[in-house]
Amino acid sequence: MKFFSQYKEEVTYAISSMTEMLRTAKENRYAVGQYNLNNMEFTQAILQAAEEEKSPLICGVSEGAARYMGGFEAVVQMVKSYMKTYNVTVPVAIHLDHGSSFEACAQAIHAGFTSVMIDGSHDPLEENIALTKRVVEMAHAVGVSVEAELGRIGGQEDDLVVDAADANYAIPEECERLVRETGVDCFAPALGSVHGPYKGEPNLGFKQMEEINKLVGLTPLVLHGGTGLPVKDVQKAIEYGHAKVNVNTESQIAATEAVKAVFESNPEQYDPRKYMGPARDAIKETVKGKMRDFGSSGKAK
């Protein structure tokens, strides 16, 4: 029995809430990246990158990606399995990105997600607050962290497309009210970033960002649309309280370019390992670079 208890301790790889990692990041002025999982190779690459960089990690999973990968439970089991395979010792959270409803958040939590985002940003403020409060009450009862959003972030996330003309900056006073009344663990105010590649020059609202950060106090802020932003802008956002930065499109582009390069050099290639392997390597290097940019490398020693 002693042998089995020791063995069990050695192979248990727990996933964490992101609450503590983000509080620590905000206090020490760095950010933890949320890197979205899209398939097996993304999962492998992102976990390997985090362990090699000794960085805390948030694995983001959209509802669409979860369906593609076999459901919420399949995602959790895949992450846990690869944590064991690669001996991942850094803190890892599995986060529902842009949860569309109370029910979706409940399903993710039931499957083992340790964090959820409830996206009520398309609703009027009162409805957003009411929905977010319901999710917070449910999640906090089982130790799961919650992210909320206010304002409209442009670009495309899964099947949701927000035209740049319809995007808007979050209002600082409304942000303070939502955070105070809901008790969320982190908060994403729309301040000029977009999902997907930028068309034109990024224009982050640093003035509003600074004001919102002061109003919400210790609550970490979240920057959506980290792809394509100049590093100096991201680092300035971190100085203004952003402790979580979301990255997906840049990893997807890196993977796609790696696959293209394989077929350009060998058009007859048909073994998926021969083109998805380089894609995985490209994702890993992209994520490692972001971890260094965000200042999270070495923070999980």
Q: Which of 77, 149, 165, 157 is nearest to 113 (CA)?
A: 77
Q: Which residue type occupies 57?
A: L
Q: Which of 93, 19, 82, 87 is nearest to 56 (CA)?
A: 93
Distance, in Å, from the CA atom of 13 to the CA atom of 10, rounded to the nearest integer, reads 8
Q: Which of 69, 131, 66 is nearest to 95 (CA)?
A: 66
**Can 97 be counted among the known catalytic residues?**
yes
User: What letter does residue 149 receive in the DSSP assignment?
Assistant: E
In this structure, the number of other CB atoms found within 10 A of the CB of residue 85 comes to 12
Concatenated DSSP letters for 241-284? Answer: TEEEEEE-HHHHHHHHHHHHHHHHH-TT---HHHHHHHHHHHHH
**Cβ(22)–Cβ(186) under 8 Å?**
yes
Q: Which residues are catalytic?
A: 97
